[in-house]
Amino acid sequence: MQRDLTEIGRTHMPFGKFGPQFRPPNGVPIYDLPVEYLAWFANKAGFPKGRLGTLLKMVYQMKVDGSDMAFDGFRQKNGGRTPLRPERVRSFDFSPPRDPQG
């Protein structure tokens, strides 16, 4: 189990919307993939063949079971969760409205 967790911590998504093409330079770490994305593999597409598929299944099962905190050590080491959306620029103008007549 320790070997599997270590490998999960090192593996990044190699393809798709969370792969390096859209999330340079390496893609999103598989432990930070949204559970909805992993559920899509589980229910519709099927997990990839080989070791990557096995690791994705493990991550999915851990997230569904509520064991996502097992990945907190990886997140802490890497500076927090991987942002999956661009940060919105927020600006607020609290100045009083101008008088249109003058």
| Longest Cα–Cα distance in the chain | 73
Q: How confident is the model at residue 48 (pLDDT cuts 50, 70, 90)?
A: very high
Q: What is the pTM of this model?
A: 0.80
Range 14-35 average pLDDT:
93
pLDDT tens for residues 55-84? 999 999 999 999 999 999 999 998 888 888
Residue type, 11: T
12 SS3 class? strand
Q: Kindly list the domain boundaries of the chain, sorted by start residue.
A: 2-77
